[in-house]
Structure 1
Amino acid sequence: MSNEVLKASVRNEVGKNPVKQVRKAHFIPGVLYGHHIDNVHIKIDEHDFDKFYKRHGIGASLDLEIDGKKSFVLLKDVQYNSLKNLTYHVEFQALAKGEKIKVKVPVHYLNKDQVPAGFIFQELHHEIEVQVLPKDLIEYVEVDLANATTDTTVTVADVETLKSDAYEILDQPDTLLFTISESKVHLEQEPDLEVTPAEEVPEVGEEE
Structure 2
Amino acid sequence: MSIKINATIREDQGKGASRRLRHNEQIPAIIYGAGKAPSLVTLGLHAMTHLLEDEEVYTSVLDLSVDDKVEPVIIKDLQRHPAKNLITHVDFLRVDMKKEIVTNIPLHFIGEDDNAAMRLGAILNQFVTAIEVSCLPANLPNAIEVDISNLKMGEHISLTGINMPEGVIITALTHGDIETYDQNVVAVQEPKLMTEEAAVEATEVEGEEGAEAEDTKADEAKGDSDA
Question: Which category of TM-score, normalised to the shorter sequence, fits these structures?
Answer: 0.7 to 0.9
1:83/1:145 CA distance change after superposition, 3 Å = farther
- Larger mean Cα displacement after TM superposition, 14-23 or 77-86: 77-86
* Rg (Cα) greater in structure: 1
1:107 corresponds to 2:101? no
TM-score (ref. length: structure 2): 0.73
How do 1:1-150 and structure 2 match up within 5 A?
2-55=1-54, 56-81=56-81, 83-113=83-113, 115-150=118-153
Displacement of 1:13 in angstroms is 2.5
1:82/1:117 CA distance change after superposition, 3 Å = farther
> Counterpart of 1:168?
169
Displacement of 1:187 in angstroms is 7.5
Displacement of 1:111 in angstroms is 3.9
* 3-state SS in 2 of match to 1:12: coil
1:186/1:48 CA distance change after superposition, 3 Å = closer
Inter-partner Cα distance in structure 2 for 1:149 and 1:52 = 39
Structure 1 runs of 4+ aligned residues shifted over 6 Å read 185-188
The answer on whether the counterparts of 2:140 and 2:168 sit within 8 Å (CA) in structure 1 is no
Higher helix share: 2
1:2-35 CA-to-partner distances (Å, cap 9, x unmatched) read 4111111111231111101111111121111112
- Larger mean Cα displacement after TM superposition, 108-117 or 37-46: 108-117
* 3-state SS in 2 of match to 1:177: strand
The answer on whether the counterparts of 1:109 and 1:144 sit within 8 Å (CA) in structure 2 is yes
* Paired positions, count: 185
> Counterpart of 2:219?
none
- Larger mean Cα displacement after TM superposition, 54-63 or 120-129: 54-63
* 3-state SS in 2 of match to 1:7: strand
Inter-partner Cα distance in structure 2 for 1:25 and 1:117 = 55
* 3-state SS in 2 of match to 1:154: strand
1:185/1:126 CA distance change after superposition, 3 Å = closer
Percent identity between the two aligned chains: 25
> Counterpart of 2:221?
none
> Counterpart of 1:159?
162
* 3-state SS in 1 of match to 2:160: helix
Inter-partner Cα distance in structure 2 for 1:113 and 1:145 = 9
The answer on whether the counterparts of 2:110 and 2:148 sit within 8 Å (CA) in structure 1 is yes
TM-score (ref. length: structure 1): 0.79
Gaps of 5+ in 2: 197-227
